[in-house]
Amino acid sequence: MDFELSQEQESFRKVVADFAESEIRPYVAKWDEEKIFPLDVVKKMGEMGLFGLIFPEEYGGSGADFTTLCIAIEELAKVDSSVAITLSAGVGLGASPIYHFGSDEQKATWLPKLCSGEILGAFGLTEPDGGSDAGSTTTKAEKVGEDEWLINGAKAYITNSGTEITGFIVVTADTEEGVTAFLVPYGTPGLVVEPPYRKIGWHASDTHGVVLQDVRVTSDSIVGTIGKGFAQFLATLDEGRIAIAALALGLIQGCRDESVSYAQSRHAFGGPIGRYQGVSFKCADMDVDVEVVRNLVYKAAWLRDSGRPFKREAAIAKLYSSEAAMRAAKDAVQIFGGAGYMDETPVARYYRDAKILEIGEGTSEVQRVVLSRMLGL
């Protein structure tokens, strides 16, 4: 049994932590308040190779394992969840489906640009009428010629779908042969990106609805196998769940660290509030969750990296970590008292950013459904 990360992974963790400290922390309050997608920072993350971490060098990637990606997401999320989800979705939802299911040509065309962060890819599964029940896609793709498809429908809440550098969206659509994934490059007539949503949190992350109105694509834009679009996306989501858990791990640490330092510096009734157990026990509980979630995340990532089944562990990690993140954020706001309710306090941002973790990439209920099924229920 060995819980040690490699020396190189530890050095990399330090680099990403330094990056988050100097390139993100000073500006994050402004991005949050003004709902700015920090394109320059995303480009720098691309230069550092973060978007290509887990892909082979032939596509401009680094050939690292999934554990290393989790390290990067965790370190970014300690400081800001929005930047962390931009990376997580860019890799997991944008590039991974192309890498796992794309044709050689699709890989050659898109992966190098995705790995370098020159473009971001979006993945449109959720629709205005349903997300959890993603198999019952109402977006339709109809074969209208020898080699031509006509797509009509709408996708909702799509991450990285409206940035200046979004290059394409992969959408699932129902065809006569079942749900199929299509890659639609930006600029294709009929593809309309709606104005950004007004979200509770993740203010510096980019989320839009995407409408497809008589969008014409050729057969070579099919990603993977016709009729297998649903199964493919399920495979993609398992990895994404570990990534979300890594993000939650960062957020919980952010909450713990902010809480501990406030508990030491804020005084009430003649002493620092950290000397009252009502406060210190909350910090202790956060510390417990940091440890528990860390073990869940890295165990699931390790299973994935060693080629073993990890569906159960990914669901457990996602479920437990997102609920732990909500607890930590709620307690952190409580420790900050009135200041915690003010938007400019980091823990207020953590609080607003935490909720989505219980919803995106499969709600907590969906994780429990997955686990129940695996128990034979």
Partner 1 sequence: MNIAVCVKQIPDPAAPGRLDPNTFNLVREGKLVMDDSDSYGVEMALQLVDRAGGGEVTLISMAPNGETSGLRTALAMGAAKAVLVSDPALGGSDALSTAKVLAAAILRNPFDMVITATESTDGYTGTVPVQIAEILGLPAVSFAKKVTLDGNKAMIERQSESGYDEVACELPAVVSVTAGVVEPRYPSFKGIMAAKSKPIETLSLSDLGLSADQVGAAGAREAIVSLRKAEARQAGQIIEDDGEAFAKIIEYLEQLKVV
Closest CB to partner 1 among residues 68, 106:
68
Report the alpha-carbon distance of residue 190 to residue 23 in Å, rounded.
37
Per CB under 8 A, does 168 bind partner 1? no
Alpha-carbon separation of residue 222 from 227, 256, 323 (angstroms): 10, 45, 36
Per CB under 8 A, does 58 bind partner 1? no
Per CB under 8 A, does 117 bind partner 1? no
Question: Rule CB under 6 A: which of 183-242 touch ligand FAD?
Answer: 199, 202, 207
Closest CB to ligand FAD among residues 12, 110:
110
Per CB under 8 A, does 44 bind partner 1? yes
Per CB under 8 A, does 38 bind partner 1? no
Per CB under 6 A, does 59 bind ligand FAD? no
Q: Examine the residue annotation and report whether 177 is marked as an active-site residue of this protein.
A: no
CB of 84 to partner 1, least distance (A): 16
Is residue 59 exposed (0-12), middle (13-18) or buried (19+ Cβ within 10 Å)?
buried
Q: Which of the choices ligand FAD, partner 1, none does residue 21 contact, using the CB cut-off of 5 to 8 A by kind? A: none
DSSP states along 29-73: HHHHHHT---HHHHHHHHHTTGGGTTS-GGGT-----HHHHHHHH
286 in Cβ contact with 256 (< 8 Å): yes
Question: CB under 8 Å to 103, separation ≥6 — which residues?
Answer: 220
Q: Which stretch binds ligand FAD (CB under 6 A): 56-64, 152-160, 180-188, 244-252?
A: 152-160
Q: Which of 25, 30, 39, 63 binds partner 1 (CB under 8 A)?
A: 63
DSSP states along 145-160: SSSEEEEEEEEEEEET
Question: CB under 8 Å to 112, separation ≥6 — which residues?
Answer: 59, 60
- Indicate the pairing of strand 271-272 with strand 267-268: antiparallel
Per CB under 8 A, does 261 bind partner 1? no
Per CB under 8 A, does 39 bind partner 1? no
Report the alpha-carbon distance of residue 267 to residue 276 in Å, rounded.
11
Q: Which residue ranges make up the site for partner 1 (CB under 8 A)?
A: 8, 11-12, 15, 18-19, 44, 47-49, 53, 57, 62-64, 68
Q: Which residue ranges make up the site for ligand FAD (CB under 6 A)?
A: 89, 93, 123-126, 130-133, 157-159, 199, 202, 207, 356, 359-363, 365-366, 369
Q: Which residues are catalytic?
A: 361
